[in-house]
Amino acid sequence: MKKYNFNEIIKREDTNCVKYDMRKHFFGINDVMPMWVADMDFKTPDFIIDALKERLQHPVLGYSFFSDEYFHSIINWLNKKHDWMVQKDWISFSPGVVPGFSLLIQALTKPGDKIIIQPPVYHPFFSAIKDNDRVIIENELILKDMKYYMNFDDLKEKVKEGAKMLLLSNPHNPGGRVWTKNEMEELGNICYENNVLIVSDEIHSDLVFEKNKHIPLASINQNIAEITITCMAPSKTFNLAGLATSFLVISNSNLLEKYKEALNKLHIWYGNIFGVTALEAAYNKGFEWVNQLMKYIENNLQILVAFLEKNIPEIKAMMPEATYLVWLDCRALKMDDELLKKFFVEKAKVGLNSGVEYGKTGAGFMRMNIACPEIILKESLQRIYNAVKLN
Ligand SMILES: Cc1ncc(COP(=O)(O)O)c(C=O)c1O
């Protein structure tokens, strides 16, 4: 069996790379180790690069359509990876998960409609609702013993305010929760009984640590499937975000029709050749690569936790059940959010996402991306240690 090398350091500067080449824009200086945006510092796997090279052997890159092979590779992946049997005609294209859920907001709700989110949560959930003139309703997660839980009592109250949709992050960004079947059943039942649609963003679903299992929300039961639209992509799993290729699974034909109308209005029909080629290669050949990737990230997680416990007890890591994103509780550093951000950028020279980007309950937290070679993670931890000790 091929052993993949995740220790290799890839120079990413000067490739118009958001994570590296926009550090000045986001942090004010270039000299920070970029441990922020959800983009891995590992090579996109060779079997994907080879498939792209092979496609380029043909000298014409004209209009192309979604082949049976494309649908088959998605169906096969979801079946084998998540025990979820989906049908070909439930699958639609979206040019990214964020564009996908934004289009769903436009297609399935009206201006002024209320949409529920569960902060702290991936920040485009807020902007997609606001930018489309819908109203955010916050059903905040409960933090208990460094783990997030859903607040169902509060949700039951909030749905009565007439919400039309709920955006779910599953697995959860930034807390790394893999929501359990019971949790999702309860959530789904409350939404079903109150006519609330659920957009389930499952972009991180392949990145689950060994002891956990991702369960697609729509696979739980027929009622929940009827109200659920699932957003998925190979982009986080295989480091392909630059190919802007993702897909939605919608088994309810009314909702599907409405989403397709929204795509048609924008003439989004074709996807792009490289995204489709990469998706097929990823889902046909990527099982072993993802297994090895997750073992590597789990080892990075252990390095991080051990380092913090031993050297920086002021910072506590929430143990993610999935994703390569670690939610760091920095409240014991006793800095306000402005100062905390400044501290990490200017004193530690490590670029993290500020917790408050994910909602007000993210205050005092920072999000760290640990999908990088071990040596880079260790260097960034050392920098944080030096800064905390000097402070
Ligand atoms: C929960 C979640 N959804 C969506 C995205 C981005 O999706 P896309 O690049 O396909 O728009 C991210 C990226 O970090 C994410 O964490």
- Identify the CATH number of the domain defined by range 18-45+287-390: 3.90.1150.10
Alpha carbon 172 to chain centroid distance? 8
Q: Which pLDDT score is estimated for 270?
A: 84
Q: Is the CB of 369 under 6 A from ligand 1?
A: no
Q: Is residue 90 predicted with pLDDT exceeding 90?
A: yes
Q: Is the CB of 246 under 6 A from ligand 1?
A: yes
**Best residue among 19, 93, 97 to mutate for probing ligand 1, ranked by most atoms within 8 Å of CB:** 97
Q: What phi-psi label fits residue 275: left (phi over 0), alpha (psi between -120 and 50 degrees) or beta?
A: alpha
Domain map (residue ranges) of the chain: 18-45+287-390, 49-285
Predicted confidence (pLDDT) per residue in 59-81, tens digit: 999 999 999 999 999 999 999 99
Percent of the chain exceeding pLDDT 70 equals: 100
Q: Is the CB of 244 under 6 A from ligand 1?
A: no
Q: Which pLDDT score is estimated for 199?
A: 98
Is the Cβ–Cβ distance between 193 and 142 less than 8 Å? no
Give how far Cα 184 sits from Cα of 180, 219, 323, 357, Å.
6, 10, 18, 25
- Please identify, by atom number, the ligand 1 atom nearest to the C-alpha of residue 169: 1
**Best residue among 203, 232, 324 to mutate for probing ligand 1, ranked by most atoms within 8 Å of CB:** 203
Quick one: pLDDT band at residue 359, thresholds 50, 70, 90? Answer: very high
pTM score over 0.95 = yes
Question: How far apart are the CA of 234 and the centre of ligand 1, in A?
Answer: 11
Question: How far apart are the CA of 389 and the centre of ligand 1, in A?
Answer: 35
CATH for the 49-285 domain, from 2.40.50.100, 3.30.70.330, 3.40.640.10, 3.30.70.20: 3.40.640.10
Q: Which pLDDT score is estimated for 223?
A: 98
Q: Is the CB of 247 under 6 A from ligand 1?
A: no
**What 3-state DSSP class applies to 114?**
strand
End-to-end CA distance of the chain: 48
Q: Which pLDDT score is estimated for 43?
A: 96
Q: Is the CB of 235 under 6 A from ligand 1?
A: yes
Q: Is residue 126 predicted with pLDDT exceeding 90?
A: yes
Q: Is residue 1 predicted with pLDDT exceeding 90?
A: no
Predicted confidence (pLDDT) per residue in 297-326, tens digit: 999 999 999 999 999 999 999 999 999 999
Q: Is residue 269 predicted with pLDDT exceeding 90?
A: no
- Please identify, by atom number, the ligand 1 atom nearest to the C-alpha of residue 235: 10
Cβ-Cβ contacts under 8 Å for 276 (sequence gap 6 or more): 64, 66, 67, 70, 245
Mean pLDDT, the chain, rounded, equals: 97
